Amino acid sequence: MNEIILEREKVKNWDQYPFNIASISNFSKLTFPSNVTFLVGENGSGKSTIIEAIAIALGYNSEGGTKNFNFSTQHTHSELHDYLKLKFFLSRPKDGFFYRAESFYNVASNIDELNRYGLKSLLPSYGGKSLHEQSHGESFLSLILNRFSGNSMFILDEPEASLSPTRQMTFMAIINELVKNNSQFIIATHSPILLAYPGASIYQISESGFECVDYKDTEAYQITQAFLKNPDRMFRELFKSD
């Protein structure tokens, strides 16, 4: 995918969610010049909203999974996907996955349920063992090692939530292999480790909209660097009384 466009002329009420989110109200177009794109921003800035909308517009289940997943525990997604136009380099990817940390439990449960009801061929695609029988980090690695493949589109919302720093670096090595095999990633993250992926495009989301920034200009990098350089000073600032 090389571009998404918000069809602003279709929006009837800009005071209605999700169009009343400042970053969305100032959004028109987002381009993807590289195969790895990160979306960064403060909590509530609209990262998950846009990530979710892109995933649904691509045909993925709103709570996560592939295009073949069709379950819902609670209808919470916005209608933003109905207003997005997606443009591709040549053709749509043949496969992919939408991962969101907050609802991955529901995806794992659905896989187990489908396995119990006769889809025995499904579980081997996720490592051959119930994702619930593994830690959060192990289940995510099992997912990406067994289910992720080339020529695919991966939409990931805060994958670092389940990964230690070491496993985040392992994940970047896997990303690199999949990118070599013509896969594309769009990732919302707070991780200064993941954001360091070479050649990635990074968009800072704020009330002003979406701005392409360099890695060292991201808040995640600057705050982490300041803290690690002088944690005592940071604690003095944090804990000082009025």
User: Is residue 112 pLDDT above 60, yes or no?
Assistant: no
Report d(CA 201, CA 38) in Å as an integer.
Answer: 6
């207003």: which residue's tokens? 83
User: Is residue 194 pLDDT above 80, yes or no?
Assistant: yes
Report d(CA 125, CA 28) in Å as an integer.
Answer: 38
CATH numbers and ranges of domains, the chain = 3-216 (3.40.50)
User: What confidence tens digit (pLDDT) does each residue in 58-86 have?
Assistant: 988 877 777 766 555 455 567 999 999 99
Which of the pair, 77 or 201, is modelled with greater confidence?
A: 201
Most confident of 59-68, 98-107, 112-121, 197-206: 197-206
Instruction: Return the closest-CA partner of residue 162 out of 104, 238, 236.
Output: 104
DSSP 115: H
- Please compute the mean of the pLDDT values over residues 138-158 and round it to a whole number: 85
Report d(CA 176, CA 179) in Å as an integer.
Answer: 5
Q: Binning pLDDT at 50, 70 and 90, where does residue 108 land?
A: low
pTM assigned to the model: 0.85
Beta bridge partners of 209: 206
Q: Binning pLDDT at 50, 70 and 90, where does residue 40 land?
A: very high
pLDDT (0 to 100) of residue 104: 58
pLDDT (0 to 100) of residue 27: 93
Instruction: Return the closest-CA partner of residue 78 out of 96, 97, 57.
Output: 57
Which of the pair, 217 or 76, is modelled with greater confidence?
A: 217
Report d(CA 17, CA 24) in Å as an integer.
Answer: 10
- Please compute the mean of the pLDDT values over residues 194-206 and round it to a whole number: 96
Catalogue the long-range contacts made by 20-26 (C-beta closer than 8 Å, 24 or more residues apart).
21/46, 21/49, 22/46, 22/206, 22/207, 22/208, 23/50, 23/205, 23/206, 23/207, 23/208, 23/209, 23/210, 24/49, 24/50, 24/80, 26/207, 26/208, 26/209
Name the token pair of 31.
């381009």
Q: Above pLDDT 70, what percent of the chain?
A: 79
Report d(CA 25, CA 46) in Å as an integer.
Answer: 10
